[in-house]
Chain A
Amino acid sequence: MVNTKVNLCGIELDNPVIPASGTFGYGYEFAEIYDINMLGTFSFKGTTREPRLGNPTPRIAEASSGMLNAVGLQNPGVEKVISEELPKMRKVFHKKVMANVSGFSVEDYVYTCSKLDQCGKVGWLEVNISCPNVHGGGMSFGTSPKAAFEVTEAVKRAVKKPVIIKLSPNVTDIAEIARACEDAGADGISLINTLLAMRIDIKSRRPLLKNVTGGLSGPAVFPVAVRMVYQCKKAVKIPIVGMGGVSSAEDVLEMMLAGATAVEVGAENLVEPTACKNIIEALPGAMEKYGIKDLREIIGAAC
């Protein structure tokens, strides 16, 4: 018997596998095809203070071993998430969920996080300072150590639940941002969000995405994500949630060796709806194959 349990910021997970925000909705569509209670937890669709339609379509484009998206944080706003979605999530998922939050000002982040902090169903707040697809917010907080510090400190002051700051890979030195978050009191960090990218249709000579640019995700970004998790692990002591192109149990092990305590799975959910189930089921076998009895032993073992 192997042990797949890990502890993420004081809450035990049955396994480290977490569907990433924006690739899993509120879990309903996946609950129709497998029992999502097997997941460690899941990070539900990013929530903002006000409702958002998101960007005009097309919002999606193909890439080699990956995809671009420019959804732009479509969500019904925090009030409706709390009054409508959380009660529905409760029916399909019996563990704590991770609430992913975005904003356009420090006040936005504090407001939305404070509201979600009051919800018993929410275990962690994942504060997204790295969305590349909205203007005047999102990523601008995640590309400056000072802004990252400010938003982290303000949110930490306002809430009781563990705060995990989701970082952008679109920076020169991600370790510097990670340190700023740790210094401001973050309980953990998650990375990487998508890489700023673009495709052009040769026939029409126009960008494929209406938003012009989008975020690249999928297996293509996995090595970038491993490298950044490794760099952050060397820089901070707080737990790291690793993500970016994870699509197999072996990828989970590799991400944990780089320093991740838990691992989010994103784009793969969209092309293989049972991806997380497949990974969780394959994990004990993969651990045995590599002589791993307890996943906790390998966190950062490559560092």
Chain B
Amino acid sequence: MIREVCEIISNEGLTESVFKMTLRLGSAGALKPGQFVNIKLDGLYLRRPISVCDAEGDVLTLIYKVVGTGTEKMSKMIPGEKLDILSGLGNGYDLEKSGDTPLLLGGGVGVPPLYLLAKKLRESGKDVKVVMGFNTAGEIFYEKEFSALGCGVTVTTADGSYGKKGFVTDALPEKYSYVYTCGPEPMLKAVFKAIKTSGQFSFEERMGCGFGACMGCTCETVTGYKRICRDGPVLSKEEIKW
């Protein structure tokens, strides 16, 4: 865990409710795919956890959806403003398990943490397939960015307004070596049932501290009680009690 005050480089809308913020910080290179940062915002007591979308050099990219007071405040911030963050939180995805043809499944704002993961897997020469699920065409973001990494990308929309109609589980490829996923819990449950291999699932929970002290985000797993913020947010399929 590192506490830093960093400057906002950019903050712009990708869709009506999803924003992309880039920040300048000293430790971005140390962030692993699947980790998150916890952000202090003026006028709010608890920090807000946001997953890392990309960390390249000293630039950190966060993609977030406006769902409440915290993210609303974030969406109004402008370049040059400073943000107090705790970074390097959470365990992150374990890349060692990927095999040669990993499959990445993302739903909505569960897509962003898969970007840095896809990048790292591509850098190590893996054949990466990505299935991204959204509700409707207007909510889609980052399709081109994943393609530019050299990933095979499939987009699904629940209403069929773009790509394949249905959910990510309706567009699983025939063959894959391992699964990495992040998205809303109903999607994760569907993925859990549908996949043929093992995999890693990234979870969301309301957090107090975000670094393991308060036990605010504990869940029960096959291997005991785990704090989503510290022992997660990524759990392996074998650990999950579904």
Mutual binders A and B = yes
Q: Name A residues whose Cβ lies closer than 8 Å to a Cβ of B.
A: 22-25, 28-30, 32-33, 45, 53-54, 57-67, 69, 71, 74, 218-219, 267, 269-271, 273-274
How many pairs, one residue from A and one from B, have CB atoms within 8 Å of each other in the complex?
Answer: 91
B100-136 at interface with A (beta carbon < 8 Å): none
B183-239 at interface with A (beta carbon < 8 Å): 205-209, 211-220, 225, 230
Residues on A with C-beta less than 8 A from B47 are 271
Asked if A29 contacts B230 (CB within 8 A), the reply is yes
User: Which of chain B's residues has its CB closest to A71's CB?
Assistant: B215
Asked if B214 contacts A273 (CB within 8 A), the reply is no
What's the Cα separation between A273 and B219 when bound, in Å? 23
Asked if B45 contacts A25 (CB within 8 A), the reply is no
Residues on A with C-beta less than 8 A from B206 are 57-61
Asked if A22 contacts B211 (CB within 8 A), the reply is no
Q: B148 at interface (Cβ–Cβ under 8 A)?
A: no
Q: DSSP class of B's interface residues: helix, strand, loop or mixed?
A: loop
Residues on A with C-beta less than 8 A from B175 are none
What's the Cα separation between A61 and B45 when bound, in Å? 10
Q: Which of A61, A74, A270, A273 has the most CB of B within 10 A?
A: A270
List 5 A–B pairs whose Cβ atoms lie within 8 Å, in order of A's numbering.
A29-B212, A57-B217, A59-B206, A59-B217, A61-B206
Q: Name B residues whose Cβ lies closer than 8 Å to a Cβ of A.
A: 1, 3, 40, 44-47, 69, 86, 205-209, 211-220, 225, 230
A170 to chain B, nearest CB (A): 21
Residues on B with C-beta less than 8 A from A32 are 1
| Beyond A60-B207, A62-B69, A67-B208, 16 additional pairs, beta carbon < 8 A | A23-B213, A24-B213, A25-B213, A28-B212, A33-B3, A59-B215, A59-B216, A62-B45, A63-B45, A66-B45, A69-B208, A69-B214, A71-B214, A71-B215, A270-B214, A271-B47
A71 to chain B, nearest CB (A): 5
Asked if B216 contacts A271 (CB within 8 A), the reply is no
Among the listed B46, B215, B220, which residue makes an inter-chain contact with A25, where contact means beta carbons less than 8 Å apart?
B215
What's the Cα separation between A69 and B46 when bound, in Å? 12
Asked if B213 contacts A29 (CB within 8 A), the reply is yes
What's the Cα separation between A33 and B211 when bound, in Å? 11
Among the listed A30, A63, A74, A219, which residue makes an inter-chain contact with B225, where contact means beta carbons less than 8 Å apart?
A74
What's the Cα separation between A53 and B241 when bound, in Å? 15
Asked if B209 contacts A270 (CB within 8 A), the reply is yes
What's the Cα separation between A63 and B43 when bound, in Å? 10
Asked if B44 contacts A62 (CB within 8 A), the reply is yes
What's the Cα separation between A67 and B70 when bound, in Å? 14
What's the Cα separation between A269 and B215 when bound, in Å? 13
Residues on B with C-beta less than 8 A from A23 are 209, 213-214
Residues on A with C-beta less than 8 A from B212 are 25, 28-29
User: Which of chain B's residues has its CB closest to A25's CB?
Assistant: B213
A74 with B218, Cβ < 8 A, contacts A29-B213, A63-B45 known:
yes
A57 with B1, Cβ < 8 A, contacts A25-B213, A271-B47 known:
no
